[in-house]
Amino acid sequence: MSASGSARRLGLPGSDGIMGAAILESPTMPRGVLPPSRGAVGDGGGVRTSNSSRRSHEGQFGDLAAVDICCGLGGLSEGLGMAGFDVRLGIDNSPSAALTYQRNHPNALVALQDLSQLRKFRSYLSAVGIAPYKLAVLAGGTPCQSFSGANTKKRPGRNEHHNLVLEFARLVKEAYPALFVLENVPRMASVENGELLSDFLHLVERAGYEVKVKNLLAADFGVPQTRRRLFVVGSRIGPFEFMAPTHGPDSYSGKRFVTVQDAIVGDLPTAVRREDATGPMSYIGPPANWYQRWCRVGSREVTDHFWNNLGEGPLRRFALIPPGKSWVQIQDAGLAPAELEVTIDHRSVYRRLEEDKPAVTIVNVRKAMTIHPKVDRLITLREAARLQSFRDRFSFSRAGGRILQVDQIQQQLANAVPPLLARAVGRRLRARLEH
Ligand SMILES: C[S@@+](CC[C@H](N)C(=O)[O-])C[C@H]1O[C@@H](n2cnc3c(N)ncnc32)[C@H](O)[C@@H]1O
């Protein structure tokens, strides 16, 4: 996200009048990109953001332009923005994700586009003022839902999500950025018995990139969560090295991990049921630690701090689950009343967070039934966002003041790269560009 720059916002029908994504179509323009009459497209010099805070660097990537493929609601873009990159374009095929992305990245253009149908990528770059071969970073996180351990299928039966990884390689070749970063679940390294990753590496190495692959733990970089993600970074401007942890036992600083308590206990008001949520709420006191202070930058009040009301059965189960345990353990220990027992399909859900540790990976809160460490309820959207290291000012798409499509937002939040993890990678990319 660009820290400044002239807003290039475009209305998206169906929203509350907030400015949304560019979703215009023209026969001569790639879908989702502004037509010339709106002043955004043209000869490569067309749109420039007037960005006074952008660092002026020597060299050809001085404006730190970045593009985010499969941007979702924008976790990766948030982090790259905090690292100083000017993310000018996000591409995703989900209208709901695009709305939240645009809401929080008003200086970027978001294109609603199926990646597998994306052609003439350079005209997209030109539309946001990126001249040929001047893109500093091409970033992306293709969908990972199909990367189950059981999926060992090889070509030619490659499924859609596997193909999108290779589409990303095609875009790398076409845009020829100084650096690229592809993020995914660690399992990506082993799908198709490793052939998908090796095919990807083959394509980008042949295009001239030196590549490093690393499985990173979000908690190592100040995120209150033990999420692991695979990062594949390619460079055509000299070798890239991943960063060392800044938090936890493996860090030089000796800073401890940020815990669930650090993130969500202390300054947030009592959460309300979704149907009772009327608007922003006040913080109940000053931030209790650096993490809460950090989350509150740019925000004076708390939004989206509500929980899904689930009825009596789930609430009775919640009451029986101690911190760090899940329902399956209660049931297997014979502690569950017969009428509350769940079927095999539901055994992996219902888990209560532990206060004094980083959270487990935040997946879709409603589907996974992620329970607050102290209160018998699901965690709220705001709490999930904090545990993912989104600042409180990050807000979700809404209409008439009410949040839209909560279930989809819960999923997009679960899909996101934690911004603090993305910031750590982004700072490293930047260091590579500056040396
Ligand atoms: C893992 S999520 C990306 C998360 C994002 N990097 C973040 O940090 O918030 C994958 C995204 O890919 C999008 N997606 C799935 N299939 C797509 C396709 N064929 N073309 C474009 N986007 C697609 C989904 O809508 C989803 O937002």
* HEC secondary structure over 364-385: CHHHHCEECCCCCCECCHHHHH
Residue, of 7 and 187, whose pLDDT is higher:
187
Distance 390 CA to ligand 1 centre (A): 18
- Tokens linked to 403: 């949040």
CB 366 within 8 A of CB 306: no
pLDDT at 259 over 70: yes
Q: How confident is the model at residue 144 (pLDDT cuts 50, 70, 90)?
A: confident
Residue, of 208 and 7, whose pLDDT is higher:
208
**For residue 353, which of 228, 260, 272 has the smallest C-alpha distance?**
260
Tell me which residues are annotated as active site.
Answer: 144
pLDDT mean over 243-255:
95
Give residue-wise pLDDT tens across range 320-358.
999 999 999 999 999 999 999 888 777 778 999 999 999
CA distance 340 to 342: 6
Check pocket membership of 117 for ligand 1, CB cut-off 6 A: no
pLDDT at 59 over 60: yes
Enumerate domains of the chain plus CATH numbers.
Answer: 10-36+57-250+417-434 (3.40.50.150), 260-415 (3.90.120.10)
pLDDT at residue number 423: 98
Q: How confident is the model at residue 39 (pLDDT cuts 50, 70, 90)?
A: very low
Check pocket membership of 79 for ligand 1, CB cut-off 6 A: no
Exposure string for 92-107, b = 16+ CB within 10 A, e = fewer: bbbbbbbbbbbbbbbb
pLDDT at 14 over 90: no
Amino acid identity of residue 309, one-letter, is N
Greatest Cα pair distance, the chain, in angstroms, is 70
Q: How confident is the model at residue 19 (pLDDT cuts 50, 70, 90)?
A: very low
Residue located nearest, by CA, to atom 13 of ligand 1: 70
CB 205 within 8 A of CB 213: no
Pocket probe mutation, ligand 1, options 68, 71, 92, 159, max atoms within 8 Å of Cβ: 92
pLDDT at residue number 311: 86
Residue, of 13 and 187, whose pLDDT is higher:
187
pLDDT at 46 over 70: no
Distance 356 CA to ligand 1 centre (A): 32
Q: What is the DSSP string of 46-88?
A: S-----TTS---SSTTTT-EEEEET-TTSHHHHHHHHTT-EEE
Check pocket membership of 192 for ligand 1, CB cut-off 6 A: no
Q: How confident is the model at residue 314 (pLDDT cuts 50, 70, 90)?
A: very high
Check pocket membership of 74 for ligand 1, CB cut-off 6 A: yes
Q: How confident is the model at residue 60 (pLDDT cuts 50, 70, 90)?
A: confident
Check pocket membership of 114 for ligand 1, CB cut-off 6 A: yes
Q: What is the pTM of this model?
A: 0.87
3-state helix, strand, coil split of the chain in percent (to 5) is: 35, 15, 50
Check pocket membership of 303 for ligand 1, CB cut-off 6 A: no
pLDDT mean over 270-291:
93
pLDDT at 43 over 90: no
CA distance 183 to 189: 11
Which residues partner with 183 through β-bridges?
231
Q: How confident is the model at residue 139 (pLDDT cuts 50, 70, 90)?
A: very high
Ligand 1, atom nearest to 164 Cα:
19
- Tokens linked to 71: 């941007």
When the pLDDT of each residue in the chain is averaged and rounded to a whole number, the result is 84
Q: How confident is the model at residue 302 (pLDDT cuts 50, 70, 90)?
A: very high
CA distance 189 to 171: 20
pLDDT at 57 over 80: no
Give residue-wise pLDDT tens across range 194-220.
999 999 999 999 999 999 999 999 999
Residue 64 has, within 13 A of its CA and on its CB side, a CA count of 27
pLDDT mean over 289-312:
94
CA distance 270 to 283: 10
Distance 140 CA to ligand 1 centre (A): 8
pLDDT at residue number 80: 98
pLDDT at residue number 391: 98
Ligand 1, atom nearest to 114 Cα:
20
Residue, of 409 and 404, whose pLDDT is higher:
409
Check pocket membership of 278 for ligand 1, CB cut-off 6 A: no
Q: How confident is the model at residue 148 (pLDDT cuts 50, 70, 90)?
A: low
Residue located nearest, by CA, to atom 25 of ligand 1: 94
